Amino acid sequence: MLGPEAGLECNLCGEEVCGAFLLTKCNHALCTKHESDPRIQSSTCPCCGTHLPLPADIQVVRMAVEPEVERALCGLHPRVATRLIQNALEFWHYQDCLRAERRAQELTEERQRVHQAARKIAQLEFEAQVLQERVHELQKRKACESPLREMSYGQCNRGAGSV
């Protein structure tokens, strides 16, 4: 059986399509589970809004061909066979473009997340630094106020720290 090497993603939910899928006239590929989608039911492509009134506008197609149809193009005039192959290539080219667009979008979102995380880290680092300085200050003050220090004839500046 001849099958595809590269996977195909549903243009609606992004899930990997295997076996049969819905192919629209506008070259969108959808899982067969979307057959019950109200937009499909009302002859509209859920991906781009193209009106699909004819039964042939939305077809259930298979990614692999059974041995008995491997010679399906045999006997067709080369012009006709070429046209069919062209349609198939156009479909895959379009799917590659859609996939690239999706990856670019995901990359942009990932970059934004990284950027936000970096800003958050910088903010937390700043807060941590402020708290550390505060702790340091309190420790100093506590050391100044400790009775041991008082017995050592007050080497610290009592005027600044004491209340």
Interface residue list for Zn ion (CB under 5 A): 10, 12-13, 15, 24, 26, 28, 31, 45, 47-48, 50
Closest to Zn ion by CB, 31 or 40: 31
Closest to Zn ion by CB, 35 or 66: 35
**Max CA pair span of the chain:** 111
Residues 6+ away with beta carbon under 8 Å from 137: none
Q: Cα torsion at 116, 122, 123, 128 (round to 10°)? A: 140
Closest to Zn ion by CB, 60 or 124: 60
Smallest distance, Å, CB 19 to Zn ion?
13
Smallest distance, Å, CB 63 to Zn ion?
14
Closest to Zn ion by CB, 13 or 121: 13
Cα-to-chain-centroid distance, residue 78? 41
Smallest distance, Å, CB 73 to Zn ion?
26
Q: Which two tokens stand for residue 122?
A: 């910088």
Residues 6+ away with beta carbon under 8 Å from 39: 45, 46
Smallest distance, Å, CB 60 to Zn ion?
14
Tell me how far apart the alpha carbons of residues 68 and 132 are, in angstroms, rounded to a whole number: 76
